[in-house]
Amino acid sequence: MRIAICDDDRYDQEQILQTVQTVEKDASIECFSDGASLIKAAKQPSPFEIIFLDIYMPNEDGMQIGRALQNISPRSSLVFITSSKDRALEAFSLAALHYLVKPITEQGVTEAMRRLRALHPNLQAAISLNVGRNTQNVPLSQVCFLSSASHAVEVSLKDGTVFKVWTSLYELEQKLGRNFLKINRGLIVNMDHVVEMRTESCIMANGQELYLAVRKRGSICATYQDYLLDRLSRRDLEP
């Protein structure tokens, strides 16, 4: 899931970011300090699923930015953020998903995400990858593993597609879900696509064998076993 936060106040922006990260641990979140940079990012091929937008910013009106975003990216849902409720009716006249008063809370963000998923039941967690001049919004469920490759990261999908992204593995690691496991210094696997965990390596769904860090083999195998048990228990609870 691709999420945008736009607030000119650095403190407020960080507070919003931390709250959204707490609620949506698997999301790819991008922060902006002005409407122009947000609008530029919204023009990319992969849209933001949800945008948290401050109404009051120096020399800018969040409502006007919201109207521009509706024309540029009609698939993006808007959540207006403000320090008062005096423009709530105007916000909803723009078909805003939600209207939050600062300081925003986990409860408020959770409700916004609940409304978003009610509108889009098939919404998946995704990661935004800057590939060349374009941004690819890739569902995390499609990612098989990630590996370091000469100042870049190769993201291998389960269909065989490989994206080369000029960033660090650490930076992408912060955007991954809890089902991703670091098995070596430059290698992270999606445990959903591990078909066999061996003492020294794991076999992926695409047939590739990836080797575990020698000194961490025990803890890696234990983490994978815990993951399998958790997945089985969740299946047992499903109706």
Q: What is the pLDDT of residues 43-83, one digit of tens each?
A: 887 788 999 999 888 788 888 898 899 899 888 999 999 87
Average pLDDT over residues 92-105: 83
Tokens of 214: 């020698």
- Select the CATH number that applies to the domain covering 2-119 from these four: 3.40.50.300, 3.50.50.60, 3.40.50.2300, 2.40.160.100: 3.40.50.2300
- Residue 124's pLDDT is 67
Helix 62-72, helix 35-42: angle, nearest 10:
10
Q: Where are the domains of the chain?
A: 2-119, 141-237
Pairing of the two strands 180-184 and 187-190: antiparallel
| Alpha-carbon span 144 to 81, nearest angstrom | 36
Tokens of 157: 């999908």
Can you give the pTM of this predicted structure?
A: 0.56
Closest CA to 62 of 94, 40, 31: 94
- Residue 90's pLDDT is 63
Average pLDDT over residues 75-93: 76
Please give the mean pLDDT across all residues of the chain: 87
Q: Are 56 and 12 in contact (CB under 8 A)?
A: no
- pLDDT surpassing 50 at residue 98: yes
CA separation, residue 103 to residues 99, 120, 172, 219 (Å): 12, 27, 28, 40
SS3 category, 4:
strand
More confident residue, 63 or 11: 11
- pLDDT surpassing 90 at residue 17: yes
Average pLDDT over residues 83-90: 67
Average pLDDT over residues 107-130: 83
- Select the CATH number that applies to the domain covering 141-237 from these four: 1.25.40.10, 2.40.50.1020, 1.10.1520.10, 3.60.10.10: 2.40.50.1020
- Residue 93's pLDDT is 66
Average pLDDT over residues 170-182: 87
Q: How confident is the model at residue 235 (pLDDT cuts 50, 70, 90)?
A: low
Tokens of 105: 């809370």
- pLDDT surpassing 70 at residue 238: no
Q: Are 98 and 113 in contact (CB under 8 A)?
A: no
- Residue 239's pLDDT is 43
| Alpha-carbon span 97 to 106, nearest angstrom | 16
CA separation, residue 185 to residues 177, 201, 215, 225 (Å): 18, 14, 11, 20
What H or E segment, with its residue span, contains residue 190?
Answer: strand 187-190
